Amino acid sequence: MDLAVRKMTLERFGVEDVGAVQENLPPARLVEASVRRREGMISGSGALVVRTGKRTGRSPKDRFIIENEVTREAVDWGTGNKAFPSDAFGALLDKAAAYVENLEEIYVVDAYAGADPRYRLNVNVVTEHAWQALFARQLFRRPTKAEIDSFEPDW
């Protein structure tokens, strides 16, 4: 995806002015960037080691879903799934976009969530740190070189 198209994709989410965009870098380049930026270090066994902060796991009680005509009857509302107003989501998205606009450099990973082309979701992961992009690159399925040229994120 060329830079103009990438920036249009980011604009969909309110990010209008962004610094350097590093997209779909291979693992070796992401590891190098992590070390260069002092996000992590190489262990004696050659693995990248990073400090992720206080919150290292998921928060099962912090799952919020926008309640609307699609989700109202489809979601099992309760302690695990909490309703979140769409206007509050918009405010949160604006706050995140403003944060991204203040970064000197971002990392973008285009990937698939799911293996079956009929059901998979095209995701566009935007991260502040190179190691986060490396994690996303390993977590999701990667498009082929041919697929990346026409990749359009669903989310």
- Residue 1's pLDDT band, with cuts at 50, 70 and 90, is low
pLDDT: which is higher, 97 or 141: 141
Q: Please name the residues in contact with 139: beta carbons below 8 A apart, sequence gap of 6 or more.
A: 111
SS3 call for 153? coil
Q: What are phi and psi of 45, to 5 degrees?
A: -90, 0
Q: Which two tokens stand for residue 59?
A: 């928060």
**Average pLDDT of 28-42?**
98
Residue from 113, 98, 115 nearest 153 by CA: 113
Whichever domain contains 108, its CATH number is 3.40.449.10
94: in domain: no
Helix (H) / strand (E) element for 54: namely: none
pLDDT at 2: 59
pLDDT at 54: 80
Q: Is residue 62 part of a domain?
A: no
8 compared with 116, residue with greater pLDDT: 116
CA-CA distance, 38 to 95, in Å (whole number)?
Answer: 26
Residue bearing the bigger pLDDT, 150 or 109: 109
Contacts of 37 (CB under 8 A, 6+ apart): 129, 130
Angle between helices 27-36 and 130-139 (to 10 degrees): 150
Q: Name the residue range of residue 46's domain.
A: 3-51+103-149
Q: Looking at the domain assignment, is residue 31 inside a domain?
A: yes
What average pLDDT does the chain have?
90
Q: Is 75 left (phi over 0), alpha (psi -120 to 50) or beta?
A: beta
Which residue, 150, 25, 143, 45, is CA-closest to 36?
25
Give residue-wise pLDDT tens across range 77-91.
987 899 999 889 989
For the chain, the domain total comes to: 1
> What average pLDDT score do residues 102-115 get?
95
pTM: 0.84
Examine residue 117 and state whether it is found in any structural domain, yes or no: yes
Query: How confident is the model at residue 125, as a pLDDT?
Result: 94
Instruction: Calculate what percentage of the chain has a pLDDT beyond 70.
Output: 95
